[in-house]
């Protein structure tokens, strides 16, 4: 998997910084999904998505926060082939840092997955770790059909 080292470093940063408020990640252990926490808080609706975009469709920059308990990482899989099945419709991530916002287009091919922070991610600053708000979205589709599977590891209210 391309970029898997980046995911491991993000996991370590969350674990070391504890800036997410809860210890979801434990080094050298298998991740346990917090479904019981979600259900106790009334978050009982499953959140996996099959998204279909047509010409002119887009998804504004947002965060998938569906209740009090949020698993910090989610995954999106691109099912369509850019250039063949659709044009436009790029996956966009932004970090909202003080006095700057840095958008980044993530180039995906058919079958690629992108794992990204749901709400915020830790960033090493001069005085230790701090939270950076993250948002994601999809730019306007110019032509064709784009299909994506989104997996969010916490349930919704």
Rounded to two decimals, the pTM is 0.76
Whether 100 shows a pLDDT value over 50: the answer reads yes
Q: pLDDT tens across 35-78, in order?
A: 788 888 899 988 889 999 999 999 999 999 988 888 889 999 99
Share of the chain above pLDDT 70, in %: 78
Domain ranges of the chain: 4-152
Q: Which fold has domain 4-152?
A: Jelly Rolls (2.60.120)
Would the CA dihedral through 52, 57, 58, 63 be positive or negative?
A: negative
Q: Return the structure tokens found at 125.
A: 């600053």
Identify the three-state secondary structure at position 140: coil
């Amino acid at each position: 998997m391309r970029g898997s080292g980046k995911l491991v470093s993000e996991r370590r940063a969350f674990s070391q910084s504890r800036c997410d408020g809860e210890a979801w990640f434990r080094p050298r252990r298998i991740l346990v999904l917090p479904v019981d926490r979600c259900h106790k808080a009334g978050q009982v609706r499953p959140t996996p998505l099959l998204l279909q975009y047509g010409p002119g469709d887009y998804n504004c920059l947002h965060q998938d926060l569906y209740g009090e308990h949020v698993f910090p990482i989610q995954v999106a899989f691109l099912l369509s082939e850019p250039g063949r099945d659709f044009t436009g419709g790029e996956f966009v991530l932004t970090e909202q840092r003080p006095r700057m916002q840095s958008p980044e287009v993530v180039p995906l091919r058919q079958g690629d997955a992108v794992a990204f922070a749901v709400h915020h991610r830790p960033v090493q600053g001069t005085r230790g770790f701090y939270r950076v708000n993250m948002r994601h979205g999809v730019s306007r589709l110019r032509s064709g059909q784009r299909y994506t599977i989104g997996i969010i590891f916490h349930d919704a209210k």
